[in-house]
């Protein structure tokens, strides 16, 4: 087994945490109207790391058990694809109980080639595709097209997009090539980048060669996201990194056709960023001195002040609203910037200051209580 799976890296934990946070509310929401939901793990891995921690297929299988025992049970079906024989063997072994009871389907092979098979099994059921290769070259845009074109609006994708790896390949267009072989290799690389992100819009700005590394990476990501958006998706990206100071290991590109997905994900990403900030500033061996040194606490105070100002502007335009509408509006406008707790706290302050009046006249509100802005 290769070193990637020897233990769960910090950034893989972040990826799993986001997936683990998102899947239950997604399943509960979609499960309120759908009989069956498919989760497709297109690059499933061995399901268990050598240090015993769960890989994504095991996480999802455990969630399927939980969802089946909810008060309003939800049926999840998991479709795992893995190409590497050794990883596949482990995947089969670890998920065997779920394969036996029909919750899990495992297939060995390449994701790109198996997309038609997956789609025929998934049929018109809602589906979430988790596409998590290592390296940028395994998922071509043409593999995604039949997924993006699904009629079923409850189709979502979480894609691990290796912008750094792809930028390195794209940069080879500047390699000083002399041999015929090297010229051919550079041409192939250029074609590959285009096939992966789904258009050649990147080539001109890359040719000019004056963009800094990070901007070249962001540009590849942006074009990729725009190409997905053409299929009626809202697309966001979250940089997965080891600490706040590190450059991204990769981006998790999240694609949805439902506003609720954006609201959920925006909150989880804010929570994840807060974790990152806390990890970078807490010294386990040092007791906290005072609030002044509590970087996360300060950050929360600052951003709630900002949200207060933004909310005031919003309310001038929307004098009758609800907390749900407020959260939805800002989850789109300022994706990943504020958490549910921030919205609750700021709205509560407005109510306490009698700037927002709940229709029922009490201070405690739920998300759908009509609120009137009285300035």
Question: From residue 311, how far is each of 118, 123, 299, 308, 367 by CA, in Å?
Answer: 44, 43, 18, 5, 16
Please tell me the chain's helix, strand, coil percentages from 3-state DSSP, rounded to the nearest 5.
Answer: 55, 15, 30
Binding segment for ligand SAM among 133-141, 182-190, 298-306, 308-316 (CB under 6 A)? 133-141
CA distance 306 to 298: 12
Q: Residue length, the chain?
A: 375
Contact 245, 280 (CB under 8 A): yes
Binding segment for ligand SAM among 43-51, 163-171, 202-210, 224-232 (CB under 6 A)? 43-51
Binding segment for ligand SAM among 128-136, 267-275, 290-298, 319-327 (CB under 6 A)? 128-136
Q: How far is the CB of 112 from ligand SAM (least distance, A)?
A: 6
Per-residue binder mask for ligand SAM (CB under 6 A), 76-115, x = binder: -----xxxx--x----------------------xx----
Q: How far is the CB of 109 from ligand SAM (least distance, A)?
A: 7
138 binds ligand SAM (CB under 6 A): yes
162 binds ligand SAM (CB under 6 A): no
256 binds ligand SAM (CB under 6 A): no
Q: Which of the 8 DSSP states describes residue 176?
A: -
Binding segment for ligand SAM among 41-49, 184-192, 201-209, 308-316 (CB under 6 A)? 41-49
Q: Which of the 8 DSSP states describes residue 3?
A: G
Q: Which residue's Cβ lies closest to ligand SAM?
A: 55
Q: Which is nearer to ligand SAM, 99 or 132 (CB)?
A: 132
Contact 56, 41 (CB under 8 A): yes
CA distance 307 to 345: 10
Please work out the total of residues on this chain that contact ligand SAM, with binding judged by CB under 6 A: 17
Strand ranges, E, within the chain: 36-41, 75-82, 104-108, 127-131, 155-161, 234-240, 250-256, 320-321, 356-358, 371-373
336 binds ligand SAM (CB under 6 A): no
56 binds ligand SAM (CB under 6 A): yes
**Residues of the shown chain interacting with ligand SAM in the complex, contacts defined by CB under 6 A:** 41, 43-45, 55-56, 81-84, 87, 110-111, 132-134, 138
């Amino acid at each position: 087994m290769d070193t990637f799976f020897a233990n769960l890296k910090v950034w893989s934990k972040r990826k799993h945490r986001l997936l683990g946070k998102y899947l239950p509310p997604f399943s509960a929401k979609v499960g309120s109207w759908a009989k069956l939901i498919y989760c497709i793990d297109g690059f499933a891995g061995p399901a268990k790391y050598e240090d015993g921690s769960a890989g994504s297929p095991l996480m999802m299988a455990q969630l399927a058990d939980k969802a089946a025992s909810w008060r309003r049970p939800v049926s999840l079906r998991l479709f795992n694809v893995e190409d590497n024989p050794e990883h596949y063997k482990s995947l089969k072994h670890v998920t065997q109980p779920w394969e036996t009871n029909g919750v899990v389907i495992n297939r060995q092979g390449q994701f790109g080639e198996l997309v038609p098979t997956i789609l025929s099994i998934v049929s018109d059921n809602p589906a979430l595709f988790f596409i998590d290769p290592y390296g940028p070259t395994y998922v071509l845009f043409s593999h995604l097209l039949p997924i993006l074109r699904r009629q079923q609006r409850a189709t979502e994708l979480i894609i691990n997009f290796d912008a750094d790896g792809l930028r390195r390949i794209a940069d080879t267009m500047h390699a000083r090539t002399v041999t015929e072989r090297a010229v051919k290799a550079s041409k192939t690389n250029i074609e590959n980048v285009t096939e992966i992100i789904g258009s050649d819009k990147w080539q001109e700005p890359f040719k000019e060669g004056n963009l800094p590394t990070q901007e070249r990476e962001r540009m590849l990501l942006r074009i990729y996201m725009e190409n997905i958006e053409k299929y009626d998706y809202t697309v966001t990206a979250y940089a997965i990194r080891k600490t706040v100071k590190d450059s991204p290991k990769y981006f998790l590109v999240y694609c949805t056709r439902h506003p609720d997905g954006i609201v959920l994900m925006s909150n989880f990403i804010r929570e994840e960023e807060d974790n990152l900030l806390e990890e970078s500033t807490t010294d386990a061996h040092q007791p906290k001195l005072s609030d002044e040194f509590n970087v996360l606490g300060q950050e929360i105070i600052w951003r709630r002040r900002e949200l207060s100002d933004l909310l005031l502007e919003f309310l001038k335009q929307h004098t009758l609203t609800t907390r749900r509408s407020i959260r939805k509006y800002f989850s789109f406008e300022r994706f990943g910037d504020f958490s549910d707790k921030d919205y609750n706290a700021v709205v509560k302050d407005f109510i306490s200051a009698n700037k927002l009046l709940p229709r029922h006249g009490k201070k405690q509100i739920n998300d759908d209580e009509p609120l009137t802005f009285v300035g």
